[in-house]
Amino acid sequence: AALPAGDTRRLPVKSVIIVLIDNVDLAVLRALAYARSLRPDQLRVVHFVVDTTRAEQLSRTWDEHHALSLPLEMIECPDRRLPRAALELAEHVLSADEGTQVTILLPRRQYGALLGRLLHDRTADQIAASVSQVRGVTATIIPFDATRTSRVLRRRGNGADVGTGVAVAPGGGGH
């Protein structure tokens, strides 16, 4: 959409999408598919490292799935303050290139009511609230119904994602 005559705001020149991940599962694969459909100028996949053992395991799993065809960036977050780390990442991307619009995608696994209350810690909400305060940054939570997918996979008898053919775990931790 064009700006009205005399409006001094500039439209973003470059679109950067950052998908924050903590696992390789169907929720992440769907978020990546959505990110690609937006046709960004740059697509980045980032994991904030709060546990080096888990990060190393995630890195190995990521590398095993050649269908993902994107590098996985590991960013140290020793204080475990993920909303702050996401905010700093967004601000860094914005400062590197004027006219950039940053979109942060946060895959969220959704479970049944009781299990959902036990498993979900609302980190995605906190990250979205933090980064959305910055001009030029948008955060979008990408919901994924893990209970429905688990039932479909059990009926099919395998763990391969229909859209990608990549074998993944149907659940996992959530942002």
Instruction: Tell me the average pLDDT of the chain.
Output: 79
- Residues 153 and 144: beta-carbon distance below 8 Å: no
Burial 80-101 (b: 16+ CB within 10 A, else e): eebbebbbebbeebbeeeeebb
Convert the pLDDT of each residue in 137-148 to its tens digit. 999 999 887 776
Residue in this structure with the two tokens 């950052």, named with its chain if needed:
18
pLDDT at residue number 11: 62
What is the enclosing helix (H) or strand (E) of 3?
none
- Residues 14 and 44: beta-carbon distance below 8 Å: no
- Residues 24 and 54: beta-carbon distance below 8 Å: no
* Paired residues of 25 in beta bridges: 169
Which of the pair, 16 or 13, is modelled with greater confidence?
A: 16
pTM of the model: 0.75
Convert the pLDDT of each residue in 39-65 to its tens digit. 999 999 999 999 999 999 999 999 998
Average pLDDT, integer, range 149-161:
45
- Cα gap 24→171, rounded to integer Å: 9
CB contact set of 8 (below 8 Å; sequence gap of 6+): none
End-to-end distance of the chain based on CA atoms, in angstroms? 33
| Vertex 30 angle, CA 56 and 117, to 5° | 75
Amino acid at residue number 112: G
Structure tokens at 160: 């391969």
